[in-house]
Homo-oligomer: A and B are copies of this chain.
Amino acid sequence: MIQLLPVTGIPEVTPGSPLGEWIARAIAWEPGDVVVIAQKVVSKAEGRMVRLNEIEPSEFAQRCARESGRDPRLIEIVLRESRRIVRMDHGVMICETAHGLVCANAGVDLSNVDGGASATLLPVDPDASAERLAREIEAVSGFPVCVIVSDTFGRPWREGLVDVAIGVSGFSPLSDCRGQSDTHGYPLQATILADADQLAAAAGLIFRKTARVPACVVRGFTVVPGHGKARELIRAANRDMFR
């Protein structure tokens, strides 16, 4: 059995909040626990927020804003967080971030901050964020804990958003079954499972967008040991059949 345990009772997170310690003290940890932490609180604790009224939109941002009816300051922030615009249409911007993540608005988000005056940005290095939070949690738990920083992304082909892993610490995000055989002795071929994304999606069931639950412990799942990074989940352009 696997259990998905909501981490509750975490105070409002602001820049400098000891988020790892708060999460660590909210749970009676068990060896093998994986904790999935929502990007929003990680970004807030790291001070990755900008106030819209401090942003001077570029000419391009202003033109985009006129054509889409969106706030030019928000578009300016999205452009600053992007290294490539994958697609831009109907007021939607699908961006590739500096990390190589492909998502709407480069992960810039006005919800769950302060009512629309400020936007959160993705952590500068979400793998490093996961690593730092793991150290903070381990100082309390006394043993290794796996950490995922997750965000809620849309996807090609399919409707609806799902949580994916943007930062990882303490395990391998991909589980490589190649070389193994099925129960009939037939070799498994292209089977590399995205464990970290499935863990994040499972936590997404706990998060639900409006709930005050910033983290979820997954208990009972055996991770692949390793020092993996979420950036391994980003498919290289030359290996991506969809680009």
Q: Which B residues touch A141, using CB under 8 A?
A: none
A111 and B186: CB pair below 8 A? yes
Question: Is residue A151 within 8 Å, beta carbon to beta carbon, of the partner chain?
Answer: no
Cβ distance A56 to chain B, nearest Cβ, rounded Å: 23
Pick out which of these stretches binds chain B: A21-29, A57-65, A206-214.
A206-214
The quantity of this chain's copies bound in the complex is 2
Q: Which B residues touch A87, using CB under 8 A?
A: 241-242
Given the interface pairs A202-B201, A234-B158, A235-B158, the reply to whether A193 lies near B180 with Cβ below 8 Å is no
Interface residues of A in 148-198 (CB under 8 A from B): 152, 154-164, 173-175, 177, 180-186, 188-195, 197-198
The chain B residue with its CB closest to the CB of A110 is: B186
A115 and B180: CB pair below 8 A? no
Cβ distance A202 to chain B, nearest Cβ, rounded Å: 4
Total count of chain A residues near the partner, CB < 8 A: 74
Interface residues of A in 192-243 (CB under 8 A from B): 192-195, 197-199, 201-202, 204-206, 208-210, 212, 218, 220-221, 232-235, 240-243
Question: Is residue A54 within 8 Å, beta carbon to beta carbon, of the partner chain?
Answer: no
Docked CA distance A94–B233 (Å): 19
Cβ distance A2 to chain B, nearest Cβ, rounded Å: 4
Given B5, B104, B115, B208, which contacts A193 in the complex, CB threshold below 8 Å?
A: B208
Docked CA distance A88–B92 (Å): 29
Question: Is residue A102 within 8 Å, beta carbon to beta carbon, of the partner chain?
Answer: yes
A188 and B202: CB pair below 8 A? no
Given B1, B5, B192, which contacts A160 in the complex, CB threshold below 8 Å?
A: B192
- 9 more A-B contacts (CB under 8 A) besides A160-B193, A177-B210? A1-B3, A1-B4, A4-B4, A89-B241, A159-B233, A160-B195, A161-B193, A162-B201, A177-B209
| CB-based closest 7 A-B pairs | A160-B194, A156-B242, A201-B201, A202-B202, A2-B4, A115-B184, A198-B201
